[in-house]
Amino acid sequence: MFVGADGIMRAGDLVPYSVMPGAGILADLYATADLAMRVTPDPEINVPVFRPNR
């Protein structure tokens, strides 16, 4: 979930290497010892995306 530049809440994939956050961005980050975020191909949208892996 994210808020677009127009102020509307949206949801979707953040594509690696193409997301350029602006100044003042806020993010909630969560970490766990047994989970890794990996960039893998997504067959539905045909681009690599971040996915959680154990």
pLDDT along the chain (54 residues), means of 10: 79 70 73 82 83 78
E-strand ranges in the chain read 2-3, 9-10, 36-42, 47-53
**Which two tokens mark 32?**
């766990």
- Mark out the alpha helices in the chain (DSSP H runs): none
Q: How many CB atoms lie within 10 A of CB 42?
A: 14
Taking the C-alpha atoms of residue 28 and residue 12, their distance in angstroms, rounded to an integer, is 16
Return the pLDDT at 16: 65
- Nearest one of 16, 19, 53 to 5, comparing CA atoms: 19
